[in-house]
Every structure is written in C-alpha cells, then in structure tokens.
Amino acid sequence: MAVESKTVERSGRGGANFTKATRDSLAREVANHCAFPGCPIPCFGPSHESPGSVSDTGIGCHIVAAADGPAARRVYPTMSDEVRRSPENGIWCCTHHGKLIDADDATYTVEALRAWKALAIRRAQLSQMLARPALLSHDDPDLNALAPMGLEVRKLAGSRARIRELFIESGAFLSWGDNVATAARDLAIEIVSNALRHGQATAATITVEARRFVVQDDGVEFDCRALSERADGHGGAEAVREIKQRFSGRLLINHRHGPTGNRTTIAAVKSRVDLMMLTHCFIDAEFVSWGNGAIDSELTRVADCDSVFIMPPEGVTYSDRGDMLRACAAVAACGKRPVIVMPTDTSDGVARMIKGFMKTFGDYDVLEVSDDESRYHRSEVINLLDLRRIETDRLRGADDEISYRRF
C-alpha cells in the first residue's frame, strides 16, 4: 500500500529552498527527532486521513537563513544558493521549535544551531549503536559541547525562568548531565540574584561559550566561592556548598574582579584536555619529568592557584606512586590543595592505591576524567599547553586581579 506523507516546508527565495532529498537527509541524520535540546517530540507518525498514511511534522530549517525576513540576522549575503540549500546548512526541528528559531534569530544564532545539530546527530548515532535511547552525558563521557548564546538580566522578575531556559537551550543538560547542569544553573541563578539584590549591579549577563558559562555583573566585588565558608550564608551559600560536597572535581569555578565588575566562569570538567583549556592550574607528567626537579618551575607557574591538578602519565601504574606522592607533597607544602587527575580506565587496584595515599594530605581530591588525549595529535596537545601558558602570562600582566580555585 502506498504511503502518503504530509511535510511542512520552509519558505525562502526559490533557489535556496531545500529539495525533498535534502529534507529527508536532515530528518534521517537525527532519527527524525527534533534537534532542539531536550525536545522529546518525534517528527514522524501515523495520520488518521487514511489507512497506511503518515504525517511528517518536521521542518527543515535553514541555519544561515534562505532569505531576508524574521531571521535576517542569520543572512550571509555572500553565501551562494547552492550552499544555502545544502544539507550542511539545515537542521531538523519539530514545527514548534522550527518556528521559534526563525522568529528569534538574536537568541538562536548560526553558531547555536550548528551546535544543536551536532548534539542531535551524536545522540542519533549513539542510539543506533546502543539499540536504546542514548543519554549523551553518560554514553559519550568525552562530550563537552555547549551551544553559544547569551542572556542579559536587568530585573529579578522572571529572571529565573529565563536562566533555566538558557541552560536547557545551550545543551548543558545533554552534555553535562542533569545533576551537574542543575547545580551549575542554580549557582548562576544565585550569582545573578545576589548581584542585582545586594551587589548594587544594574545588569548581569550570562554568556554561553563552547565549554563554559560566563556570568558577569557591574556590581561590587563578590566571589561566590567564599560563601561556602560563611556560617550565616543562605541561598547562595547552600548552592556553593552543594557543589563543593557533591560535585567536587566536576565543576570548575573561576572568579575575577576588574574595572567592569565581577566575572565568574562555571565549567564542567570531563577530560584532561578540558582542564588544559579551562585553567592553567595543573602539572602534567607527560610534559614534566617529576624526577629531575622540574616540578619546582611548575610550582612557580601555578603560584596563584589555590588547587593544583596533578596529572599522572597515561596508563598510570603502581610504579608511579612515588612520583605522585612527591608531586602532591610539593604542592601541599606550598599551601595548595593537591588534586590527582585519574583516568577513568585506571585499574581498581591502582585507584585504591591513589585514594589511599591521598588521604594523608587531609585537604585533597581525586578527579576521575576521560583520558581523551588519544583523540588529539601529540603536537596539538603540546600547542594547547603552550597556549595556556601564554594566556596565563597575559592574565598575570593584566590590571585585573585573577584567581583560580577549584571546588
């Protein structure tokens, strides 16, 4: 029996419209599910018009707009119609979210839509491989990707709902997992509320970058990390203590105060490369020979850090115990908190050994992350480390006071 299908099409200038083959390709690459983060709606189902008929309610939306109009900010005038109508410039959404992204191009930028598409495709790939619905934060532990977007808050009324929407639409819950994303979201809400209610700020902004949230305000200096040490703290203090107690080693919180106000970054740590990209407060055994005194120069490099991440060599074994102990002791002797970065594939015996000797330092932590450097060429990782050192030097030369502390 022939199958009938009703498909919703997007309008645009004629030469840039998607062909049926392109729309079919966009739908298949995301398993015919809406690419909007967290949307559970399938875009294909039975129709009551006739036996055997189906209704296709998905929309093939242009990432770079096909024509002037509601999505005019996403127009690239120099882009050819051939590229505009290609599958690479399309994203598959349900009717509701397809209309939403076309109506609000200030929020749903080209970069955000491309990030959504990548997350949706990865989810579809894993679901097919695992023969079940994929949970990205669990099934792809290396994944740490957010959709770039932003939000400005000038009034507390309605701000919490807008911040919650931002964390959903950025893909934080897909990439970081519900528990970590919720803790980060609650902290962002507390920072914004404190700035507007108590910090004399006139405005606060939250900017979503590829791997972190950046919360800024123009109020008086306020470092949220100090709240966990206050006995009289309430909402904000409880949010910080929750992160410290439950997500120590999973969320990296940095703060800087400068002429324009406070700048707090909130980032999830899932791999060694994440750490290299998010902070300079680490000592990596792949680049430092622990046995020849080179660690002294590394301690100078991380002198402004409260906690120092110590990364053992790849394939850490029992024989690395002595070097790890010496590195931790050197860090602790400087009044800093040693944090061993332990790959998730470390054997149970070695993991017990590490956790056992770390207890001797009192204030310590063990962070289990994916050892994802195998996905990078060696030269790329070395260049990444060099870039972090350059950035560290730049920040140290700035007028702003900068500090790094990991919960």
- 82: which 2 tokens? 């051939």
Closest CA to 253 of 231, 235, 268, 236: 268
Residue pair 61/98 in contact (Cβ under 8 Å)? The answer is yes
List, for the chain, all residue ranges whose pLDDT scores fall below the cut of 50. Answer: 1-12, 71, 373-407
Please name each of the domains of the chain with its CATH number. 5-134 (no CATH), 149-268 (3.30.565.10), 272-398 (3.40.50)
For 265-322, the pLDDT digits (tens) are: 999 887 777 788 788 888 887 655 555 566 777 888 888 887 888 888 778 899 888 8
Q: For position 401, what pLDDT does the model report?
A: 34
| pTM tops 0.85, yes or no | no
Q: For position 25, what pLDDT does the model report?
A: 95
Sign of the dihedral defined by the CA atoms of residues 390, 392, 393, 399, in that order? positive
Give CA–CA dist 26/3, Å, rounded. 20
